[in-house]
Amino acid sequence: MYRCLRGTAPSYLMDSCTLTADVTGRQHLRSATQRKLIVPRYRLNGFGRRRFAVAGPSTWNSLPDSLRDPELSVNTFKHRLKIYILRAWALDIVLSMRYINLHFTCLLIKDDIQQTRHTIANKHKVKVIYS
């Protein structure tokens, strides 16, 4: 999308990139000042969502404003994009690990409760009923 907006991509790809500010009647929208692209309508059933004309602008619009800055050089854009993607990936891993740790902790607590029930039941010679 970066190359499309810079005019260095092939024309068949550049045809899919239309800035909101370039569309008559949409210049007053907030998205026009944020360098967002028009995302064409598509059918939910089928491949419409995965077409370049839809996926490209959707992905571009999801990037932070600092990456959509028109003054960025190619190298700066690539560097910032890598940092953005790696931070998102690292955050996803951290959140996944927290979920795994929480789940594992809950399993340990459940196991401890069951062992405690058995210990008490054996001590008092009663049968354990699980709830």
| Nearest to 8, CA basis, from 74, 80, 66, 91 | 74
Q: Which amino acid is at 39?
A: V
Q: Each residue of 17-73: pLDDT tens digit?
A: 877 777 777 777 776 667 788 787 777 767 777 777 888 888 888 888 888 887 888
Q: Please check the confidence at residue 131 and state whether its pLDDT lies above 60.
A: no
Phi, psi of 19 (to 5 degrees): -70, 145
pLDDT at residue 40, rounded to an integer: 78
